[in-house]
Structure formats: structure tokens, C-alpha cells
Amino acid sequence: MQRKGLGRGLADLISSDDLKKGATLLHLRPNEITPNPFQPRSAINDDELEELTRSIERHGIVQPLVVRQSVDGYQLVTGERRWRAAQRAGLDIVPCLVRDTDDSEALQLALVENLQREDLNPMDAARGYQQLMMEFGKTQEQVASIVGKSRSAVANTMRLLDLPPPVQSLVGKGEISEGHARALLGIGKDPEVMVEAAEYVLQKGLTVRETEEFVRERTTPQEAAGIERSAERKAQERVPDPNRAELEERLQRAVGAKVRVRSRRRGGTIQIWYHSDEELERLIRLLDPPVSRYGELG
């Protein structure tokens, strides 16, 4: 029986640079691949996914997924929509380009692919930029170079992280634009005031220019300038702690999973990511081994 999902003309789509770097083309079962833990996109539009599914049913996967080897097999780097659509379409195998990438490059590739396809909402982009800086030691200039934008564009998008969660949700859903959100940052630091202002803008259907005027009417020139300087300073100060980065890397090697360490004045937290019940069981066995490993207790 012929296996489904090889697509057409794959050799023409593989970069010679990838092949020179040792990348290989494999055909993997979709269930052999786990999601990218560094995927910056928080949601996938179901209508677009269904449209892609129908296209894959007719034509197969034309562009290979990019994966990397992981503890449990293969981990997705780019191509999550194609991977999900292939599962919906019932493909037995999918074409995959296997690349040797670290966590930082996995995030960079996913960010660039989504930005080029305009699949990221501004909040997802802002969190992706922050992750590159906080977890992988990139500067704003380096992030800008990676994603092909100016440093000021990256800084302006990262300012959205100063919005209260309800307003961030409106931006993520596309109910207000990035321009609206940046204008609202000038209204003050009180989260309740900012949420009320966002709801007013949404209710009245204000344009970005009208929102800027609305904010100016409620802010003195001195306050507005101070808010702008503070936001820019915060964006520039988002730099990683090299000691924490080293500790996270050591812990990730020890447990074979993504780890995040957050320090406070007293104590802190350690977060460990897992992506399946099987991986959770593996982590539990690693962190809480059976008593038999230490002998029976009397």
C-alpha cells in the first residue's frame, strides 16, 4: 500500500546550506514528533488550520517540517500548523528536515517563520523577543537582527508587556491593535485606569489617532514624557542574569527538559516543562526514584 504524505518536489525545497550543515531529510510518523516548547505562537486559527488540512489532503506536504532530535525522539522546530494539519488529514508520514539546533536557535527559527508568515499577534511577538533576551542572553540589537526589524520596532513591541493582562488579551485577540495599545501605555501606570481606557476605546471604536488624542487629554506633557522614558528604560534593562542562565542550562541537562529559574529577594521558583503524560512519568521517576534504588527500609 502506498504511504500518504510525501508531498511533491521535496528535493527542490531543501536548502543546499542546510544539507552542507549536515541536515538530513527523513519521513517520520506524526506521532514520533513532539511540539516545540519554544513555539512563540499561543493560538492557531481553527478555520485556517482546516483550510490547510484540506490543501494537504489534496497535495500532501509541499514544504518539509524542521525538527531536531530530542530525548524522546524528534521535536518540532518549525511547521507546527503543517504538523497539526497533517494529523487531521490522517497522513501516515510527513517529510522532515532534521537539523542540529539548540534551544535558542529553535526559538529563533520559530519566531522568524511566524513573523515572515504574519502568523504572530503582537503579544506573542513581544513574549518571543523577551524570551530571546531573558533566557538566551540576546540584546535588543541582536533580536532585531534575528527577526529583521529595527531595534526601535522591537523595543516598541516589547513595551506591550507593560500592559495589564486584560489589555494584553485584547491585543492578542486582535480586538485592539498594537498602535492602540502603545497609545494606552501613555495614560498612566494604574492597571484599572488602563483597562477602563481600553474598554472605552473598544466600545467607541476609536482609531489609533483618536486613541492618542484621548490619552493626551488625560495626561500632562510632563507625565507623558516620564512614562515614555520609563518604558524605554525598562525595555533596555531587560537583560539576562548570566548565572541564572548557566544554572538553567545545568538543570536542563540534568532532567532532559526545559527549566526556568526565577529568583526573588528570598528564595524563588523552579519550573519544569513537559509535553506528554509519558514525559511527566519520566520526570517523576527521575525526581522521585523508587525506594528499591536505595534498598528496602526496615
Contact 66, 37 (CB under 8 A): no
Q: Could you give the CA distance from residue 183 to residue 65 in angstroms, rounded to a whole number?
A: 39
Enter the DSSP assignment of 158: H
Q: What is the C-alpha separation between 240 and 17, in angstroms, rounded?
A: 31
Set of cell numbers at residue 83 = 504538523
Cβ burial, residue 283 (10 Å; 0-12/13-18/19+): middle
What is the rounded CA–CA span in Å between residue 115 and residue 156?
16
Active site residues: 80
Give CA 60 to chain center in angstroms. 26
Strands lying side by side in the sheet with 65-70: 24-28, 94-98, 65-70, 73-78, 33-34
Say which residue the cell 514525559 belongs to: 279
Contacts of residue 160, Cβ cutoff 8 Å, sequence gap at least 6:
122, 123, 126, 168, 171, 178, 181, 182, 185
CA dist 91 and 62 (Å) reads 13
CA distance 32 to 15: 24
Yes or no: say if 193 and 201 are a contact pair by the CB < 8 Å rule. no
Q: Residue 233, exposed/middle/buried by CB under 10 A (0-12, 13-18, 19+)?
A: exposed
Q: How far apart are CA 46 and CA 52, in angstroms?
A: 10
